[in-house]
C-alpha cells in the first residue's frame, strides 16, 4: 500500500493535472509548456499559501 | 506579384468522425494517436494511467452504480471517465468499497480526477480530429 505524505500527494497531483491541462488548453508546444508550468505553480503555490494561512490561524 | 492564399488546415474527416472521442475515452491518449500526435498521446496516457494506478495503490474507493447516493453517482460518472481502466479495476476488484485511511481519501480523488482529465483529453482529441484545434 502506498502512503505518501499530503505534500507528496499534492506534487504528484499537480504534475499529472498540469501535463493534461497544458496539452489540452494550448495549441503550440511552447504554449503548452508555459501553461503547464503556470498551472503547476498555481496548484503547489496555493497549497503552500493555504498551509501557511492555516498555521497562522492555528497559532 | 501573385501571393498564395491562406487556407485553414484541412481537418481529418475521413472515417468515423467520433473515433478520436470514443477511443480517447476508452484508452487514455488513444484519441491523440488517431490524430497522429504521438508525444501528446504518450504524455496523456502516462499522466492519466499513473494517476489512476497511484490512486488505487493508495487504497482508493472505486465508485459503483446503483448505490442511491447522489454523491456516489457523481463519483461513478467521474470514475467512468477512465474508460477501460475503470472496467479493469471493477473486474479485478482493485478498489476499496469504503475509505478508511487519509491516503485512501487522496487516492479516491486521484482516481476521480484521472477520469475527469481523460474526458478533457478525449474532447481535445475530438477537436483535433474535426479540425477545430490545430
Q: How many CB pairs under 8 A join A and B?
A: 61
Residue B1: pLDDT band (50, 70, 90) is very low
Contact B43 A24 (CB under 8 A): no
| pTM of the predicted structure, to 2 decimals | 0.90
The grid coordinates listed for B63 are 465508485
Cell numbers at B127, concatenated? 477537436
Please state, for a pLDDT cut of 90, what percent of chain B lies above it: 75
- Which among A4, A9, A20 has CB closest to B120? A20
Tens of pLDDT, residues B6-45:
555 555 567 889 999 999 999 999 999 999 999 999 999 9
Mean pLDDT of chain B: 90
3-state percent breakdown (helix, strand, coil) of chain A, nearest 5: 85, 0, 15
Q: What is the DSSP letter of B132?
A: S
pLDDT at B98: 86
| Dihedral over alpha carbons A28, B48, A1, A3 (to 10 degrees) | 40
CB contact under 8 A, B58 and A17: no
Residue B25, C-beta contacts closer than 8 angstroms, at least 6 positions apart: B31, B81, B83, B118, B119, B122
Q: What is the pLDDT of residues B34-85, one digit of tens each?
A: 999 999 999 999 999 999 999 999 999 999 988 888 999 999 999 999 999 9
Q: Is B95 exposed, middle or buried (0-12, 13-18, 19+ CB in 10 A)?
A: buried
Q: What does the domain layout of chain B look like in residue ranges?
A: 19-130
Amino acid at each position: 500500500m502506498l502512503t505518501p505524505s499530503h505534500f507528496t500527494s499534492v506534487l504528484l497531483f499537480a504534475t499529472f493535472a498540469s501535463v493534461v491541462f497544458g496539452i489540452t488548453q494550448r495549441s503550440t508546444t511552447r504554449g503548452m509548456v508555459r501553461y503547464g508550468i503556470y498551472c503547476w505553480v498555481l496548484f503547489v503555490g496555493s497549497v503552500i499559501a493555504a498551509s501557511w494561512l492555516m498555521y497562522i490561524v492555528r497559532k | 506579384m501573385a501571393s498564395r492564399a491562406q487556407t485553414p488546415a484541412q481537418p481529418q474527416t475521413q472515417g468515423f468522425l467520433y473515433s478520436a472521442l470514443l477511443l480517447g475515452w476508452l484508452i487514455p491518449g488513444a484519441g491523440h494517436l488517431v490524430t497522429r500526435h504521438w508525444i501528446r498521446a504518450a504524455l496523456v496516457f502516462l499522466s492519466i494511467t499513473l494517476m489512476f494506478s497511484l490512486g488505487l495503490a493508495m487504497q482508493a474507493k472505486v465508485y459503483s452504480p446503483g448505490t442511491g447516493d447522489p454523491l456516489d453517482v457523481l463519483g461513478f460518472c467521474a470514475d467512468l471517465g477512465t474508460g477501460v481502466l475503470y472496467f479493469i479495476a471493477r473486474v479485478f476488484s482493485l478498489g476499496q468499497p469504503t475509505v478508511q485511511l487519509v491516503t485512501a481519501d487522496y487516492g479516491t480523488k486521484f482516481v476521480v480526477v484521472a477520469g475527469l482529465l481523460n474526458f478533457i483529453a478525449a474532447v481535445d482529441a475530438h477537436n483535433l480530429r474535426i479540425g477545430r484545434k490545430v
